[in-house]
């Protein structure tokens, strides 16, 4: 099994949410797949160097007819020098329906480069035909304090976990967020499969942390597996933990 198979991203619509490696995961999957589309339903930093081409268009379906560069990035607008604006979920859903043979990879929320998050009221922005949702958290957040320096929306993570702001986060806390319908499993469309991803598993100590998180996730919710990764590595798949 490779990272594409582990995350069930080989076809259909795969959406990444959470914190601790969403963009790196998108780009790695896209380049492994080759013929794939990368897009977003939220803002996304400029990623021209990560794909074959980025097309800015309000008609993403028509852009496919003229492209010869893969993987292809599709975005609605360049909002400013350092970021694009994505499409609404309905547009992404229509785009995916028009591309039955091409995987569509979607950034579906934001996290401001933090290591863990719980979604806001208007997050995630998921197309209703999403096949897979990949909630992400970093193994490196374990042991760090529950503050804005490490966690996006720390007050929401505190609410989900029952922890106080400033408490040091445990593997159980990270698992609780990933497995919660107020966290990584929020607003899953009917028929969508969630495959949590613990990223930044960069050494044997962090692999042990990641496996602890994975076991706790599997004890809390009905997901087929939890994937451990080091997305900065050439081969990013560290382990697949199944129930």
Q: Among 59-68, 71-80, 92-101, 203-212, name the one with the lowest average pLDDT.
A: 59-68
As to burial, measured by CB atoms within 10 angstroms (0-12 exposed, 13-18 middle, 19+ buried), residue 95 is buried
The CATH number linked to 61 is 3.40.50
For 84-137, write each residue's pLDDT tens digit: 999 999 999 999 999 899 999 999 999 999 999 999 999 999 999 999 999 999
pLDDT tens for 181-210 read: 999 999 999 999 999 999 999 999 999 999
Total-model pTM: 0.97
Quick one: pLDDT at residue 64? 83
Q: How many domains does the chain have?
A: 1
Mean per-residue pLDDT for 206-224? Answer: 98
Question: CA torsion, points 20, 23, 26, 29, in degrees to nearest 10?
Answer: -70
For residue 160, the enclosing domain spans 3-242
The string of pLDDT tens digits covering residues 40-51 is 999 999 999 999
């Amino acid at each position: 099994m490779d990272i594409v198979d582990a995350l069930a991203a080989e076809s259909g619509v795969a959406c990444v949410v959470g914190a601790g490696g969403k963009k790196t995961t998108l780009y790695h999957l896209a380049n492994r797949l080759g013929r794939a589309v990368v897009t977003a339903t939220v803002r996304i930093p400029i990623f021209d160097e990560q794909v074959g081409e980025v097309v800015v268009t309000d008609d993403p379906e028509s852009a496919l007819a003229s492209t010869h560069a893969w993987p292809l990035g599709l975005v609605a607008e360049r909002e400013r020098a350092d970021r694009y604006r994505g499409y609404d979920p309905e547009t992404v859903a229509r785009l995916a329906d028009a591309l039955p043979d091409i995987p569509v990879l979607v950034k579906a929320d934001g996290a401001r480069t933090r290591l863990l998050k719980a979604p806001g009221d208007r997050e995630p922005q998921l197309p209703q035909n999403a096949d897979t949702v990949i909630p992400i958290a970093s193994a490196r957040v374990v042991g760090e304090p529950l503050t804005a320096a490490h966690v996006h929306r720390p007050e929401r993570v505190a609410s989900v976990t029952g922890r106080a702001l400033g408490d040091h986060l445990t593997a159980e806390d990270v698992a609780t967020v990933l497995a919660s319908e107020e966290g990584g499993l929020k607003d899953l469309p009917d028929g969508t499969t969630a495959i949590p991803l613990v990223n930044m598993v960069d050494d044997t100590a962090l692999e042990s942390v990641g496996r602890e998180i994975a076991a706790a996730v599997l004890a809390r919710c009905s997901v087929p597996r939890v994937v451990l990764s080091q997305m900065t590595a050439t081969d990013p798949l560290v382990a697949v933990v199944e129930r």
